[in-house]
Chain A
Amino acid sequence: MYIKLDGFILGLSNGGACMAACAPVLLPYLLGEGKGIASNYWITGQFLLGRLWGYLLFALLAWMVNTAVLRESEMWNLIIGVAYVLFAALLIFYGFLKKEDSGCQNSCNRKMYQQLTTLRPALFPVTAGFVTGLNFCPPILLAFTGAAAQSSLIMSLLYFFSFFLGTSALFILLPLIGISNRFAVIRIIGKMAAGIIGFYYLYSGSIMLLRGIAKL
């Protein structure tokens, strides 16, 4: 299968922070419902499937932005460059400077998760995955820009799919639970890694921006 390496790397570098952010949602459920490692993997698989749907929806949106705004635009480099620079700066801020909070939007959705666990437990993993996937955090915004810069819908979908694979790599460890006391450390490392990747996107965005300005 054709993997978009830049999307994969962006996802993988942020995977630690993603897992640490999603773990508080998924872990209590695994501890409550999981009946051994095989069952935990099954639940995590459903959760990731939900997240994949969320990401693919982003890819679709990115493609729509591409066709509606970017495709015919003379200022393609300029727009993508500005987006990269802005989101990269945001990613650097998120990676190195932002104080720890309760973890993305997960805390806001806690009530919803609790209700879902009680009323429709079978739907919980997929739904929770979908909701955590639809998260406007800096890495996803950068991935959105990357996907919008692709030449076709398939490529945009592949870009987000690669991003998904990268962010999911560490989830392999989640069902083993044993590393749960390391979440705080993994989260810090993941966020810092994402911040470092932010510098790469800042550089790429600046180059695009300069090209865009030169074309004006």
Chain B
Amino acid sequence: MKNFKSILGYTWAVAALIIAPATFFGLDYFSRVLAEATGVTVNPWYTGGEIIKSIDHGSYRTLLHRPVFDSLIGQKKKGFIQINWEPAAGLPPIIREGFDFNNDHEEDFHLTLNTKTGKVELQAVNAAILPEAKAYSLRNGWAVRISLQRQP
């Protein structure tokens, strides 16, 4: 038993000698394998969540994300919905667009975004929309987040 433990100990110690360089030489490979095997993504509170609608306007496109209320278990009372416009080079000075995020074929809110100043105006139609909208200048365009409250 003592010898077995000893052999096991030395084997792991020698394995550490291999693990150290392998960790660096195989970093990209192992990272890809880890990401693919776990299917892990960045939390939607940061990314804005999955895109549910993409509207092509010729020189630019609008990307509507799903509403985010994600919580550890269940849903939070307050969430947001994100809209992206890209690419930056193709954006008009003023964007005016209406959105239906719950697919009831009725406009839920209307946005006006000044792509020069970042000023955003929100007209809410749906009761879930809170009067809080914030614009973010991204490397490849603009994003706006609108606060939502969960409807019963």
- On chain A, the residues within 8 Å of B73 by CB distance are 3
Interface string of B60-93 (1 = CB under 8 A from A): 0000000000001110000000000000000000
- On chain B, the residues within 8 Å of A5 by CB distance are 72
Interface string of B22-62 (1 = CB under 8 A from A): 00000000000000000000000000000000000000000
For the complex, what is the distance from the CA of A5 to the CA of B74, rounded to whole Å?
12
Q: Name B's interface SS.
A: loop
For the complex, what is the distance from the CA of A2 to the CA of B150, rounded to whole Å?
15
**Distance (Å) between the CB of B111 and the closest chain A CB?**
31
Interface string of A1-21 (1 = CB under 8 A from B): 011010000000000000000
For the complex, what is the distance from the CA of A2 to the CA of B73, rounded to whole Å?
10
**Distance (Å) between the CB of A13 and the closest chain B CB?**
16
For the complex, what is the distance from the CA of A3 to the CA of B71, rounded to whole Å?
12
- On chain A, the residues within 8 Å of B72 by CB distance are 5
For the complex, what is the distance from the CA of A124 to the CA of B144, rounded to whole Å?
60
For the complex, what is the distance from the CA of A3 to the CA of B75, rounded to whole Å?
12
**Distance (Å) between the CB of A11 and the closest chain B CB?**
16
- On chain B, the residues within 8 Å of A2 by CB distance are 74
For the complex, what is the distance from the CA of A3 to the CA of B76, rounded to whole Å?
12
Beta-carbon nearest neighbor of B76 in chain A = A5
A1-46 interface with B by 8 A CB criterion: 2-3, 5
For the complex, what is the distance from the CA of A61 to the CA of B73, rounded to whole Å?
29
- On chain B, the residues within 8 Å of A3 by CB distance are 73
**Distance (Å) between the CB of A165 and the closest chain B CB?**
13
For the complex, what is the distance from the CA of A3 to the CA of B73, rounded to whole Å?
9
Beta-carbon nearest neighbor of A3 in chain B = B73
**Distance (Å) between the CB of A19 and the closest chain B CB?**
23
For the complex, what is the distance from the CA of A78 to the CA of B74, rounded to whole Å?
32
Interface string of B129-152 (1 = CB under 8 A from A): 000000000000000000000000
**Distance (Å) between the CB of B79 and the closest chain A CB?**
16
Chain A residues in contact with chain B, CB under 8 A? 2-3, 5
Nearest first, the 3 A-B pairs at minimum CB distance are A3-B73, A5-B72, A2-B74
3 A-B pairs within 8 Å (CB atoms) are namely A2-B74, A3-B73, A5-B72
